[in-house]
Structure 1
Amino acid sequence: MKYTISIAFSPLDQLIEIAKAAEELGFDSIALPDSIFYFEKQSVDYPYTADGKRMFDENSPWVDPLIAAAALGAVTSTLRFYTNVMKLGSRNPLLMARQVGSVANLTNNRFGFGVGIGWAPEEFEWCGQPYAKRGKRVDEMIEVIKLVLAGGMVEYHGEFYDFDRLQVSPAPTEPVPFYVGGHTDVALRRAAHVGDGWTSAMMTGAQLAETIAKLKSLLAENGRADAPFEFQAVCIDKFGVDGHRELAEAGVTDNIVIPWVFDGLGFDAPVEAKKDSMKRFADTYIHSGWQQ
């Protein structure tokens, strides 16, 4: 099982040091969350908390995940990065393809594209994109971005996007993996159909085991039972070596963690304290040999 550090809500001036330490300590990846802006009045419930309220406010720090991946990639050599997840619905697919391809090239193919639809009408509408038919539109967006990233002169004629022959250069020298987020049945079907992996929001171990089983069944239905596929998990109730062993047995291939939160520190804790937490975590889970 791989280990990925989420940098959610960390001050931006800490990210370089966190990435350097993560690589030195043997973590596999950095997960980069996405939020465009904080809107004061919330028109629909936030889908990942019990009360529907957001777990962040107008002062919570966010960094554009693609810019962060390029910046952190410049100070590391083996660490990977992926968006967790990029909200596609409020964006333009050709511009996204240009940006994703640039990050993949600048990081020497150490970038994975975690994608989702987005939950808030405000983000869609205030960025000039319709909220209606967002799922079908994002399906086309994924097709467009994959097509463009494959390189060469391409064209696309769909329900929502239509363009004649064009080319974005240089194309990445390796395919960019797509990790599809979401917990709904349609999101799981999307992941099994077009994804190189699936990524969760906060879930219990039991929920993860059930969801992974569903995904494996859907992959088989798509003729992909033996294809490489990542199960990236944020688990809220499996701790200690035994808990991590249970996650691995359930099929989790990539455990997304925030070590300093596990140690009772806040998101804005000093970076040296965070690095100490990362070392303790790495000694316990990465270097202890429990997976051997």
Structure 2
Amino acid sequence: MKWTLAAALVPAGQLLDLARAAEENGYNSLALPDSVFYPEQVSAKYPYTKDGSRFWPAETEFIDPFVAIPAMAAVTTQLEFHTNVYKLPLRDPLLTAKQVASIAVMSDNRFAFGVGLSWIPEEFRFTHTEMRTRGARTDEAIEIIKAVCAGKGPEWVEYHGRHYDFDRLMISPAPTRPVRIFVGGHSEPALARTARIGDGWISVNTSPNKIIAACERLAALRAEYGRDDEPFEIIAGPVGDVSRDDYRRLEEAGVTECQAAPWWQYGVPLDDRAGMIDAARRFADEVIATY
């Protein structure tokens, strides 16, 4: 089992120190979420709470992961990074491919790209993108990014899809190893997308039992698509009173990496810089080193 330090909601000024601490204490990777802005009025409910409300205030910092990850890569040498998750259909896929390729090159291939759809109608309306086609456009965008970041350096690529169409072009620099694309979400379309074109899956923060059920469905879907013999990663976000037995059950179900945000577990406020570093170390000592 590998371990991710999940840095959602963490103030931007603490990320470099956390990246160093993660590398020094046995974490394999650090994950950052994506949020473009907060609409003052939101016409949809947040899908991951019982009452549909967000659990963070509007002023919570969400630094652009494409800015923060290169900065953290510059102060580490082995730590890997991924987005959890990047709202891909809000962006143009070629511009995104350029950024992903650049981050992969600048980090010496230590970047994986976790993608999702976004649940906020206003994000699509205010960025002049279409929510109705978000799934189909995400499928095509993943294919485009995979072509640009195939791991062979700069190559001529072209794409002719329903939503995106372009003739031969080259993006340089480009990575020397394929950029893995992880798909987030528990819905049936998200799991099917993962099984069909993803290199891995990222769970939401939920109970081990729900993650295991999703893993079982993913295994069935990957077999249906004839991909069950290909390399595949599962990054899980178990929450609650998670025991060592739970971690073992997750690993047996196919989970390859577990996320942890130890400051929540140990009751450390996000503005306590030293306390958050200590929490990351404590989790490493109590869980990672003894697992």
Question: Fold-level match, TM-score > 0.5?
Answer: yes
Alpha-carbon deviations, 1:79-123, whole Å to 9, x = none? 000000000111000000000000000000000000111111111
Q: Please state whether the residue corresponding to 1:81 is helix, strand or coil.
A: strand
Q: How far apart, in 1, do the equivalents of 2:139 and 2:23 lie?
A: 34
8 Å Cα contact 1:204/1:238 also seen in 2: no
Q: How far apart, in 2, do the equivalents of 1:2 and 1:114 lie?
A: 17
TM-score, length of structure 2 as denominator length: 0.96
Unmatched tracts of structure 2, length 5 or more: none
Moved more, 122-131 or 85-94: 122-131
8 Å Cα contact 1:6/1:31 also seen in 2: yes
Q: How far apart, in 2, do the equivalents of 1:135 and 1:41 lie?
A: 24
8 Å Cα contact 2:42/2:121 also seen in 1: no
8 Å Cα contact 2:34/2:65 also seen in 1: yes
Matched, 1:64 2:67: no
- Give the residue type in structure 2 aligned to 1:272: A
Q: What is the Cα deviation at residue 240 of structure 1? A: 3.3
Matched, 1:188 2:186: no
Matched, 1:34 2:29: no
Matched, 1:272 2:274: yes
Match of 2:228 in 1: 225
Match of 1:115 in 2: 115
Q: How far apart, in 2, do the equivalents of 1:240 and 1:188 lie?
A: 26
Moved more, 270-279 or 231-240: 231-240
8 Å Cα contact 2:109/2:179 also seen in 1: yes
Match of 1:287 in 2: 289
Q: How far apart, in 2, do the equivalents of 1:287 and 1:226 lie?
A: 31
Alpha-carbon deviations, 1:8-46, whole Å to 9, x = none? 111111100000011000100001101000111011111
8 Å Cα contact 1:83/1:114 also seen in 2: yes
Match of 1:159 in 2: 162
Q: How far apart, in 1, do the equivalents of 2:280 and 2:59 lie?
A: 25
Match of 1:50 in 2: 50
Q: How far apart, in 1, do the equivalents of 2:193 and 2:85 lie?
A: 14
Matched, 1:19 2:19: yes
Q: How far apart, in 2, do the equivalents of 1:30 and 1:9 lie?
A: 13
4+ runs of 1 displaced by more than 3 Å?
none
Q: Please state whether the residue corresponding to 2:109 is helix, strand or coil.
A: coil
Match of 1:103 in 2: 103
Q: What's the % identity of the aligned pairs?
A: 47
8 Å Cα contact 1:90/1:125 also seen in 2: no
- Give the residue type in structure 1 aligned to 2:134: R
TM-score, length of structure 1 as denominator length: 0.95
Q: What is the Cα deviation at residue 266 of structure 1? A: 2.3
Q: How far apart, in 2, do the equivalents of 1:215 and 1:247 lie?
A: 14
Matched, 1:145 2:145: yes
Q: Please state whether the residue corresponding to 1:175 is helix, strand or coil.
A: coil
Match of 2:244 in 1: 241
Moved more, 135-144 or 29-38: 135-144
8 Å Cα contact 1:177/1:196 also seen in 2: yes
Q: How far apart, in 2, do the equivalents of 1:45 and 1:136 lie?
A: 22
Match of 2:211 in 1: 208
Moved more, 56-65 or 91-100: 56-65
Q: What is the Cα deviation at residue 238 of structure 1? A: 4.5
Q: How far apart, in 1, do the equivalents of 2:240 and 2:13 lie?
A: 30
- Give the residue type in structure 2 aligned to 1:126: F
Matched, 1:174 2:177: yes
1:255-266 map, 5 Å: 255-266=258-269
Unmatched tracts of structure 1, length 5 or more: none
